[in-house]
């Protein structure tokens, strides 16, 4: 029995209050790795096809991975999965912090939640035990308030709390699941699913440590990581400026979405870049359990007399872009307050900022007027309007109720041909990396089972000439030996997208941080990842095995979607991409035509071994991956 997992998965039925613990064997852990692959295993078995995503039949899973909780950087991550109420496809989101390691240290590797409680409850896990407790008194509190109340009533300030905020309680589809009230499992509406079950929070008390088989190797990897940050400039940038470090580069290549994705360069980018945040409002760095990179930002400032508190962390690159450049806003203090408000209400900052940007474009074009927006001038550049809308969305009040379920639902409600301003695929707002500058990312945005995601594959610059040697040396371990011309798009690039997607998919199975572990620029490459997993388990884990774990997860997700009627027709990019982008940077005048995408998709499905007509996994492929139980 491997010592780094508990061999304990908690099954919770909130309808009847039943709590059961399952003890899978090592083979189960080796096959799926943990994370969303393990979540998908239960979702595919327990959620009946066609289930209402906000109904009691939807299964909601929370999974750590094999290495979670070990004393090595980049392992404290948790994956949350369920059928998404936004896309109606599979939902998936990852988050970090101290909660994931603490869940493992409380004696559980994952939680499978079914049913729906009659009234608000929270789960309290400690010493391998679980209890369902009343949460009526916590309903309606912001995340910071609720966390404080829980710690006080249980008399332990060291407890870790994963929770929904008021947005999740109101079933806003933009709702996130928060921990430490500044770390988010943001995307695909998992906060709304948690709210639909009347599950306010999961509280864990860490009481033991996770152990590796080969502690010496693990310790030497941790020392190597600490010593070598300077050798990996992208990681050093994260340490210095957080994810905001990429703002300036993104702008330089025309990949900083601006004015609701109408252009890729923002003339005020300097005011919101990582250097500026470090020089002005940064108070300190924060981290996740046992991580030496410390990429999390802590800011302290105020905007028009409203305080931005360090306890709510600081804005990530995605938040800076979605509530900043997407909306034409360059006031870093306003962006910091937007980040805080989203964290307080429990909102996905990407979906929320992008939805407000969509509404701003509608307003600018006369599709919305003051009579629709509660008298708010929803114009690009209006920071006050952006902040007011976040609060209205969080409270699901007034025009906020129109936007609270994301831009695709808002377009249905608004009508008036407003869908032409959408920047979504599978109803999910695109994150802040523009496919016109990173062509393979367009393919991944389209085919990704849970909608557009920037953390599901490696980005084009890493497999283009002019980068660091370690990018290419590591990608070669995945069979990628031919870095391509900058800005190019071809079959080799799509092979890069697919293989790196399998690797990223494995990261979301083992539940690892994609800034610390990865296939190119990260602190540790594929070889070190295989070494770490081998040290953790005592198995001989190879890069090939890692890739297959990732491929298995991808196929499980696509199989879930196929069951719900999804085909290649849903693998799209926004109609807006047919027209050339505006602005004055490298992507000005560039389009991403749907016919190009169709050609790329055919190459992609062929590489994946899927049916080219439907874009779905074949029975043969599922059997090859040991997923015959899905076919049967």
Partner 1 sequence: MKVRVILHSYLREKLPPERLGRAEMELPPESRVGDLFAQLGISQPVAWSLNGRLERDLSLILKDGDEVRVFRPGAGG
> Could you tell me the smallest distance in angstroms from the CB atom of residue 116 to partner 1?
36
CA 563 to CA 453: how far, in whole Å?
22
Minimal distance, residue 306 CB to partner 1, in Å: 27
DSSP for 345-367?
Answer: HTB-HHHHHHHHHHHHHHHHTTS
| Closer to partner 1 by Cβ: residue 54 or 430 | 430
Task: Using DSSP bridges, classify how beta strands 183-185 and 424-425 pair: parallel, antiparallel or unpaired.
Answer: unpaired
Residue with Cβ nearer partner 1 (247 or 309): 247
- State the residue for tokens 């190597």: 224
φ, ψ dihedrals at 428, nearest 5° = -105, 130
Site for partner 1 in 445-474 (CB under 8 A): 454-455, 458-459, 461-462, 466-468, 471
Nearby residues of 352 by Cβ (< 8 Å), 6 or more positions away: 174, 322, 323, 342, 390, 393
Among 73, 172, 250, 373, binds partner 1 (CB under 8 A): 250
Binding region for partner 1 (CB under 8 A) out of 248-256, 347-355, 401-409, 556-564: 248-256
CA distance 347 to 166: 9
Please say which residue, 256 or 541, places its beta carbon nearer to partner 1: 256
Distance of closest approach, residue 539 Cβ to partner 1, in angstroms? 28
CA dist 632 and 627 (Å) reads 9
In this structure, what token pair is assigned to residue 604?
Answer: 């992609």
Measured CA to CA in angstroms, residue 443 lies from 132, 486, 577 at distances of 43, 17, 13
Residue 248 in contact with partner 1, rule: CB under 8 A: yes
Helices (H), 198-313: 215-227, 233-241, 247-252, 274-280
SS3 201: strand
Window contacting partner 1 (CB under 8 A); options: 130-138, 172-180, 205-213, 584-592: 584-592
> Which is closer to partner 1, CB of 244 or CB of 362?
244
Q: Which residue lies nearer to partner 1 by CB, 116 or 236?
A: 236
Structure tokens at 530: 């295989």
CB 453 to partner 1: min, Å:
12
Asked if 514 interacts with partner 1 (CB under 8 A), we say yes
Contact 47, 112 (CB under 8 A): no
Question: Where in 218-237 is the site for partner 1 (CB under 8 A)?
Answer: 233-234, 236-237
Per-residue binding string, partner 1, 473-492, x by CB under 8 A, is -------------x------
Which residues ranging from 403 to 442 are in contact with partner 1 (CB under 8 A)? 433
* Burial category of 333 from C-beta neighbours within 10 Å (exposed 0-12, middle 13-18, buried 19 and up): middle
By CB under 8 A, name the one of 178, 192, 221, 253 that touches partner 1. 253
Burial (CB count within 10 angstroms: exposed 0-12, middle 13-18, buried 19+), residue 59: buried
316, 242 Cβ separation under 8 angstroms: yes
Interacting stretch for partner 1, rule CB under 8 A, among 207-215, 324-332, 346-354, 582-590?
Answer: 582-590
User: Which segment (126-134, 243-251, 296-304, 472-480) binds partner 1 by CB under 8 A?
Assistant: 243-251
DSSP secondary structure letters along 42-73:
HHHHHSPTT--TTSTTS-EEEE-BTTTTSSST
Give, in order, the Cα–Cα distances in Å from 263 to each of 161, 315, 367, 453, 632. 39, 22, 20, 19, 48
Which of 142, 243, 258, 418: binder of partner 1 (CB under 8 A)? 243
Choice between 275 and 384, CB closer to partner 1 = 275
Rounded to the nearest whole angstrom, what is the least distance from the CB of residue 399 to partner 1 in the complex? 32
As beta bridge partners, residue 78 has 95
Q: How far apart are the first and last CA of the chain?
A: 30
From candidates 52, 136, 279, 491, binder to partner 1 by CB under 8 A: 279
Interatomic CA distance for residues 511 and 69, integer angstroms: 11
Question: Residues 463, 484: contact at Cβ < 8 Å?
Answer: yes
**Residue list 310-329, contact with partner 1 (CB under 8 A):** 316-317
In terms of DSSP bridges, do strands 306-308 and 301-303 run parallel, antiparallel, or are they unpaired? antiparallel
Q: Does 42 bind partner 1 (CB under 8 A)?
A: no
Among 109, 147, 245, 551, binds partner 1 (CB under 8 A): 245
Stretch of 384-392, 474-482, 511-519, 594-602 contacting partner 1, by CB under 8 A: 511-519
Interface residue with partner 1 among 143, 182, 241, 456 (CB under 8 A) is 241
Cβ at position 286, least distance to partner 1 in Å? 16
Give me the residues that bind partner 1 (CB under 8 A), please. Answer: 233-234, 236-238, 240-241, 243, 245-246, 248-250, 252-253, 255, 273-275, 279, 316-317, 433, 454-455, 458-459, 461-462, 466-468, 471, 486, 514-515, 518, 521, 584-586
């Amino acid at each position: 029995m491997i010592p780094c997992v508990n061999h304990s998965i908690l099954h919770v039925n909130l309808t009847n209050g039943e709590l059961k613990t399952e003890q899978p064997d090592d083979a189960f852990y080796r096959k799926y790795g943990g994370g969303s692959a393990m979540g998908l295993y239960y979702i595919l078995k327990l959620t009946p096809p066609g289930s209402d995503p906000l109904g009691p039949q939807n299964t909601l899973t929370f999974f750590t991975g094999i290495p979670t909780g070990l004393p090595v950087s980049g392992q404290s991550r948790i994956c949350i999965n369920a059928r998404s109420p936004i896309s109606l496809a599979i939902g998936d989101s990852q988050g970090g912090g101290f909660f994931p390691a603490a869940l493992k240290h409380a004696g559980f590797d994952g939680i499978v939640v079914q049913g729906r409680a009659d009234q608000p409850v929270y789960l309290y896990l400690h010493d391998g035990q679980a209890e369902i407790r009343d949460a009526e008194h916590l309903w309606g509190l912001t995340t910071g308030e609720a966390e404080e109340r829980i710690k006080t009533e249980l008399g332990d300030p060291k407890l870790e709390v994963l929770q929904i905020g008021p947005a999740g309680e109101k079933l806003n589809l933009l709702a996130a699941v928060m921990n430490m009230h500044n770390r988010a499992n943001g995307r695909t509406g998992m906060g709304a699913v948690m709210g639909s079950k009347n599950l306010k929070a999961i509280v864990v008390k860490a009481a033991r440590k996770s152990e590796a088989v080969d502690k010496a190797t693990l310790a030497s990897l941790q020392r190597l990581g600490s010593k070598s940050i300077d050798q990996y400039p992208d990681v050093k940038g994260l340490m210095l400026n957080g994810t905001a470090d990429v703002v300036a580069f993104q702008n330089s290549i025309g990949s900083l979405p601006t004015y609701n994705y109408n252009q890729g360069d923002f003339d005020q980018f300097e005011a919101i870049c990582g250097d500026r945040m470090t020089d002005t409002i940064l108070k300190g760095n924060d981290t996740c359990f046992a991580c030496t990179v410390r990429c999390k930002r802590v800011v302290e400032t105020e905007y028009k007399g409203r305080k931005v508190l360090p306890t709510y962390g600081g804005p990530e690159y995605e938040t800076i872009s979605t509530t900043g450049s997407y909306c034409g806003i360059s006031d870093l203090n306003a962006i910091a307050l937007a980040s805080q408000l989203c964290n307080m209400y429990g909102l996905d900052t990407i979906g929320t900022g992008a939805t407000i940007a969509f509404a701003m474009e509608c307003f600018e074009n006369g599709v919305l007027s003051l009579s629709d927006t509660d008298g708010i001038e929803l114009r690009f550049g209006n920071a006050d309007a952006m902040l007011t809308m976040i609060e209205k969305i969080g409270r699901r009040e007034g025009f906020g109720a129109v936007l609270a379920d994301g831009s695709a639902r808002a377009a249905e409600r608004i009508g008036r041909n407003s869908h032409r301003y959408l920047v979504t695929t599978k109803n999910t707002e695109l994150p802040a990396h523009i496919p016109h500058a990173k062509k393979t990312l367009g393919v991944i945005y389209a085919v990704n089972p849970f909608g557009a995601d920037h953390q599901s594959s490696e980005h084009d610059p890493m497999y283009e000439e002019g980068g660091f040697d370690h990018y290419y040396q590591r990608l070669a371990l995945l069979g990628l030996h031919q870095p391509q011309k900058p800005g190019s798009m071809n079959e080799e690039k799509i092979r890069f997208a697919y293989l790196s997607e399998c690797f990223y998919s494995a990261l979301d199975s083992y539940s690892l941080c994609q800034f610390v572990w990865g296939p190119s620029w990260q602190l540790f490459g594929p070889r070190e990842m295989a070494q770490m997993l081998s040290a953790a388990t005592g198995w001989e884990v190879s890069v090939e095995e890692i890739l297959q774990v990732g491929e298995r997860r991808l196929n499980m997700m696509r199989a879930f979607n196929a069951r719900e009627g999804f085909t290649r027709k849903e693998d799209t990019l926004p109609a807006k991409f047919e027209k050339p982008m505006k602005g004055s940077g490298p992507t000005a005048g560039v389009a991403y035509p749907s016919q190009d995408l169709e050609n790329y998709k055919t190459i992609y499905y062929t590489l994946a071994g899927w049916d080219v007509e439907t874009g779905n996994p074949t029975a043969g492929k599922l059997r090859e991956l040991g997923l015959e139980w899905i076919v049967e």
